[in-house]
A = this chain, B = another copy of it.
């Protein structure tokens, strides 16, 4: 969301280069997520490690399909209003071929159950979905 700004070493006082990161919001999100997961799992905390492993297992195919479970995770994240969780499940839904219409129908359930307090999160979800579709 913020510009990642990095000043190159100036070899002369006449030349200054601004490298403005062109990394997208999707890449930013994934990169930060991976980096901090590494920090967290690098601790020797068994409860946290087991929780992360259990979290992965939760969305596997079973009596409900992986797609349905990702949609459940998405709507749960929406009504609990966690932008990062919403982004994660939007990313997974996109990989699994969920359509734009389906995402908006899922969002409509979250909106009616969760109320207008969800609207600002729906805006950020809509923005992230646009980026996912652009690839």
Chain A interface residues toward B at CB < 8 A: 1-3, 5, 7, 13-16, 18, 20, 32-33, 36-37, 39-40, 43, 45-48, 50-51, 54-55, 57-59, 62-64, 68-69, 71-73, 75-85, 99-102, 104-120, 122-124, 126-127, 130
Identical chains bound together, number: 6
Of B2, B59, B72, which contacts A75 at CB under 8 A?
B72
Whether the pair A112, B116 counts as a contact (CB closer than 8 A) is yes
Q: Are B102 and A40 in contact (CB under 8 A)?
A: no
Q: B115 and A112: CB pair below 8 A?
A: yes
User: Can you identify 11 A-B contacts, CB atoms within 8 angstroms?
Assistant: A45-B105, A48-B108, A55-B119, A58-B108, A63-B101, A79-B80, A81-B82, A85-B116, A112-B116, A115-B117, A115-B118
Q: Which residue of B lies closest to A7 (CB)?
A: B18
